[in-house]
Amino acid sequence: MTDAITWWHALCAIACLNLMAWTLSTAWLHRNRPEGTTWPHQRLQLLLSALYVLGCGYRSVLPVFDVPRIVMVDSWASSVLVGRTVATLAELSFAAQWALLLRGMAVAHRHRGVQWVSLAVLPLIMLAELHSWYAVLTTRNIGHVVEESLWGTVAVLSVGAMLVLWGDASARTRRWLALAIVAGSAYAAYMFGVDVPMYWARWQADEAAGRVYPALAAGIADAASRWHVSHDWVHWRSEVVWMTLYFSVAVWISIGLAHVRLPLRAHPPAP
């Protein structure tokens, strides 16, 4: 068994564990359903988390290295076009979870600045997804440079918003707020320190080699119909770290967000 196959089996096992974790988490929340205004927020977080868990599970079972069209499983379901569609839905769901979290904190603390940050999250991630599609369809890695930069920017904005609220937060709130700040900071550091430079280096190498890129229409047809099955570790090595963390730690964060009790809507202050 090759290293790539061993890693793939590990991803499949993680996907199964994630689905079990989401199911148990949902059952626990329903049994311990809170009173008051926080349940609608948590219920929406659960729904968004389900989309993210399923999307990441799909991509764990059928991993794809988008630009070179490398896959583990020889199937139309492994095509770049299908995989990127699933990824887009999952990533927008995860971004919506963060936007909802920030909005809930803004409502709870009546902080307009944090509310503006929450409103910016989804538009920025939608823009990132458009650049991702551009990169995948045309094989231009510069699209991934912009995409990952936008994700990193959203992480920085989110961490900044949470730091702004730290002083007014209760001791209980600060416990999960600290975890969110650490996770967001680590993510931003990884994006700007590892991912963005990696894609920039790939773009520079392609340009230096005089690579010819397909037009958008040709790229759509190519992404839908061409894939190369490889179980060679050399082809997957550069993707292992981000895929493993993305399909494990990010999913656990997604599931955990449903346990944060925040109001979905603002209520007028008591007279």
- Look-up of token digits 């894609």: 199
Alpha-helical runs (H) found in 110-248: 112-138, 142-166, 171-190, 196-208, 216-225, 233-236, 240-246
| Residues 79-127: tens digit of each pLDDT | 999 999 999 999 999 999 999 999 988 888 888 889 999 999 999 999 9
Q: In the sheet where 70-71 sits, what is the strand order?
A: 64-65, 70-71, 228-229
DSSP secondary structure letter of residue 268? P
| Residues 3-29: tens digit of each pLDDT | 999 999 999 999 999 999 999 999 999
Which pLDDT score is estimated for 62?
Answer: 97
- Measure the CA–CA gap between 85 and 87, rounded to whole angstroms: 5
Which pLDDT score is estimated for 270?
Answer: 41
Which pLDDT score is estimated for 269?
Answer: 46
Task: Give the contacts of 130 (CB within 8 A, at least 6 positions apart).
Answer: none
- Look-up of token digits 């730091």: 163
pLDDT reading at 209 higher than 90: yes
- Measure the CA–CA gap between 120 and 109, rounded to whole angstroms: 18
pLDDT (average), residues 192-217: 95
- Measure the CA–CA gap between 47 and 51, rounded to whole angstroms: 7
pLDDT (average), residues 197-226: 94
150 in Cβ contact with 125 (< 8 Å): yes
Which pLDDT score is estimated for 237?
Answer: 93
Which pLDDT score is estimated for 271?
Answer: 41
pLDDT reading at 268 higher than 70: no
DSSP secondary structure letter of residue 141? T
pLDDT reading at 255 higher than 60: yes
To the nearest whole percent, how much of the chain has pLDDT over 90?
A: 80
- Tell me what the pLDDT averaged over the chain comes to: 92
- Measure the CA–CA gap between 65 and 72, rounded to whole angstroms: 9
Which pLDDT score is estimated for 41?
Answer: 86
Which pLDDT score is estimated for 264?
Answer: 67
DSSP secondary structure letter of residue 130? H
pLDDT reading at 36 higher than 70: no
48 in Cβ contact with 100 (< 8 Å): yes
Which pLDDT score is estimated for 262?
Answer: 80
